[in-house]
């Protein structure tokens, strides 16, 4: 590794435009608590690299000057210069003469968590002049243990064929159903009723996936400067959606309902977001007693509690039944449930739903008209079909996921005995304890070995969980086996 600032000709990419400037204070904020054991420049470089990999820092972002970043972070300029040099060496940054350092993705890491490597503008310097873009990493597509969506159920194609048969009844209309088409609202309501929560179609809003449901709830219930309480760690796009409303997001330890209650008492939030079943990422489920306790908190403090049941169908242990509905048989007016077709059937289906009191459904439906008008009709018809065949479809899917989970758990336990690898009762991921706060370094080293994992801090509102990574088990068994070896090598890189 070189600690010298490269000569102007090196790493210069004359025609690559930086598209966005990241200020030093903003960089400091997004890095959060980046310090860990080891030399500061290495830790800083790893944190920056992780931010680029996760998409937190977009490719082609111009990073702050070495001097400004040093001031903002309270480190020496030598440290920031060395960190930037290391980023360049690894292919995660290039320098432009006279205009600083620009974040890029290394050539070959074409798509990482959906963040595409920017195409080089026409007239760009050839590779020989831009070693930063043609550096030591040339990976092909990394094995993705980051994305938590399995491939489609084999039943999907037939469901769409059936949906297509039902479509003509809708083609004479304008195609807008702001609350969702009647058969889907009824099917979703019936499913809640069957799970012990009497529900009418009027209490169901169809959304364009669960993420839209969460975003609608965030914008509808939480205003700028108001508070939302989430578990920490938690599903990170929920935190994003809440932060985008200008909310203050307060984290409480995942699954700790007593602390949750005291946070509600203390901060008087407008909304609590939690994942009651096969929690993302910890895998834990709330007990019946804990659920009842949370519903009591909702009622006592008049706070809306959103239970994200996206993963609820994915009970993997043989003895695990589908969990009881979070809303409870009393169907507290303060408890809102979110569900989705993405995990049981396919992520490429963009259909989710909210179960809530009717007046909440009406409010959300008004908001959603300025968001995306309504959800695609054929998608909804396909989900009606899939839900009606749920009991035929799910067992094979669960068996498949169970095999993958068991393979990854056993493989990682054997390959890296240092790690704590709990086997979750359901869901799609392992929440692996590393025993030391090096998650970002591991995520970066894993990319160098051709596998993508997600560092723990991504899942926490405050950058904690630096001793954890999340590994999803949605890829094929062959890919998972391959990934295990790469993870072990990445760990040796980190230790070395």
Looking at residues 126 to 185 of the shown chain, list those that interact with a second copy (rule: CB under 8 A): 147-152, 156-157, 160-161, 164, 167-168, 170-179
Distance from C-alpha of 414 to C-alpha of 293, rounded to nearest angstrom: 39
Quick one: 257 or 351, whose CB is closer to a second copy?
Answer: 351
| Token pair belonging to 297 | 């908190």
Quick one: 71 or 151, whose CB is closer to a second copy?
Answer: 151
Please answer whether residues 393 and 369 qualify as being in contact, where contact means their C-beta atoms are separated by less than 8 angstroms.
Answer: no
Quick one: 389 or 436, whose CB is closer to a second copy?
Answer: 389
Mask 30-59, x = binds a second copy (CB under 8 A)? -------------------------x--xx
Beta-sheet strand order (sheet of 304-308): 204-207, 352-355, 335-340, 304-308, 271-274, 227-232, 248-253
| Token pair belonging to 103 | 């974040």
Span interacting with a second copy, options 68-76, 273-281, 354-362, 486-494, rule CB under 8 A: 354-362
Q: How far is CA 77 from CA 48, 65, 144, 169, in A?
A: 16, 10, 35, 67
Quick one: 71 or 477, whose CB is closer to a second copy?
Answer: 477
> Which residues ranging from 215 to 244 are in contact with a second copy (CB under 8 A)?
215, 219, 224, 237, 240-241, 244
> Which residues ranging from 441 to 460 are in contact with a second copy (CB under 8 A)?
none
Give min distance, CB of 74 to a second copy, in A: 28
Quick one: 149 or 287, whose CB is closer to a second copy?
Answer: 149
Half-sphere exposure of 310 (CA within 13 A, CB side): 29
Q: How far is CA 48 from CA 58, 315, 446, in A?
A: 11, 36, 15
Binding a second copy (rule: CB under 8 A), the pick from 202, 256, 400, 482 is 202
Binding a second copy (rule: CB under 8 A), the pick from 191, 350, 404, 470 is 350
Binding a second copy (rule: CB under 8 A), the pick from 4, 98, 289, 370 is 370
> Which residues ranging from 469 to 488 are in contact with a second copy (CB under 8 A)?
474
Torsion angles phi and psi, residue 227, rounded to 5: -110, 140
Give min distance, CB of 110 to a second copy, in A: 12
- 383's enclosing H/E stretch is helix 377-388
Quick one: 303 or 351, whose CB is closer to a second copy?
Answer: 351
Give min distance, CB of 428 to a second copy, in A: 10
Torsion angles phi and psi, residue 298, rounded to 5: -60, -45
Q: How far is CA 51 from CA 8, 34, 45, 217, 308, in A?
A: 26, 11, 10, 27, 26
- Work out the number of other CB atoms within 10 angstroms of the CB of residue 72: 18
> Which residues ranging from 372 to 391 are in contact with a second copy (CB under 8 A)?
372-379, 382
Distance from C-alpha of 126 to C-alpha of 159, rounded to nearest angstrom: 49
Give min distance, CB of 453 to a second copy, in A: 15
Mask 272-291, x = binds a second copy (CB under 8 A)? --------------------
Give min distance, CB of 249 to a second copy, in A: 13
Distance from C-alpha of 175 to C-alpha of 276, rounded to nearest angstrom: 35
Number of residues that bind a second copy (CB under 8 A): 77
Quick one: 210 or 446, whose CB is closer to a second copy?
Answer: 210
Distance from C-alpha of 52 to C-alpha of 178, rounded to nearest angstrom: 37
Quick one: 134 or 240, whose CB is closer to a second copy?
Answer: 240
> Which residues ranging from 1 to 30 are in contact with a second copy (CB under 8 A)?
17, 19-20
**Judging by beta carbons within 10 Å of its beta carbon (0-12, 13-18, 19+), is residue 402 exposed, middle or buried?**
middle
366 binds a second copy (CB under 8 A): yes
């Amino acid at each position: 590794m070189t600690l010298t600032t490269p000569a102007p000709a090196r790493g210069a990419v004359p025609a690559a435009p930086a598209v966005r400037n990241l200020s030093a204070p903003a960089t400091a904020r997004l890095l959060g608590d980046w310090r860990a054991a080891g030399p500061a420049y290495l830790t800083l470089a790893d944190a920056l690299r992780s931010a680029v990999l996760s998409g937190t820092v977009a490719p082609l972002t111009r990073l702050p000057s070495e001097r400004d970043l040093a001031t903002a972070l309270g480190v020496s300029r030598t440290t920031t210069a060395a960190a930037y040099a290391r980023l360049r060496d690894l292919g995660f940054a290039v320098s432009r003469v006279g205009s600083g350092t620009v974040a890029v993705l290394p050539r070959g890491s074409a798509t990482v968590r959906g963040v595409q490597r920017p195409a080089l503008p026409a007239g760009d310097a050839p590779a020989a002049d831009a070693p930063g873009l043609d550096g030591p990493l040339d990976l092909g597509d990394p094995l993705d243990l980051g994305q938590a969506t399995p491939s489609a159920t084999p039943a999907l194609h037939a469901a769409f064929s059936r949906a297509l048969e039902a479509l003509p009844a809708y083609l004479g209309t304008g195609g807008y159903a702001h609350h969702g088409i009647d058969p889907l609202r009824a099917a979703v309501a019936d499913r809640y009723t069957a799970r012990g929560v009497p529900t009418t179609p009027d209490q169901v809003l169809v959304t364009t996936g669960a993420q839209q449901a969460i975003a609608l709830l965030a914008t509808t219930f939480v205003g700028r400067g108001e508070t939302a309480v989430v578990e920490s760690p938690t599903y990170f796009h929920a935190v994003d959606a809440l932060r985008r409303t200008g909310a203050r997001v307060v984290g409480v330890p995942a699954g700790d309902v007593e602390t949750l209650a005291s946070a509600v008492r203390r901060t008087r939030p407008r909304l609590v977001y939690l994942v009651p079943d096969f929690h993302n990422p910890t895998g834990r489920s709330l007990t019946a007693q804990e659920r009842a306790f949370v519903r009591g908190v909702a009622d006592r403090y008049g706070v809306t509690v959103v239970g994200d049941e996206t993963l609820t169908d994915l009970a993997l242990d043989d003895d695990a039944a589908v969990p009881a509905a979070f809303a409870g048989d009393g169907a507290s007016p303060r408890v809102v449930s979110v569900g989705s077709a993405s995990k049981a059937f396919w992520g490429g289906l963009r259909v989710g739903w909210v179960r809530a009191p009717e007046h909440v459904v009406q409010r959300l439906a008004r908001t959603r008209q300025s968001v995306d008008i309504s959800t695609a009709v054929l998608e909804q018809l396909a989900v009606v079909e899939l839900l009606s065949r749920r009991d035929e479809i799910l067992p094979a899917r669960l068996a498949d996921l169970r095999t993958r989970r068991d393979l990854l758990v056993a493989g990682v336990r054997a390959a890296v005995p240092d790690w704590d690898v709990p086997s979750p009762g359901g869901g799609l991921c392992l929440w692996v304890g590393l025993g030391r706060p090096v998650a970002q370094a591991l995520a970066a080293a894993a990319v160098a070995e051709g596998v993508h994992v997600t560092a723990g801090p991504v899942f926490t509102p405050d950058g904690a969980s630096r001793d954890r990574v999340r590994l999803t088990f949605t890829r094929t068994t062959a890919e998972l086996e391959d990934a295990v070896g790469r993870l072990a090598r990445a760990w040796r890189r980190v230790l070395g």
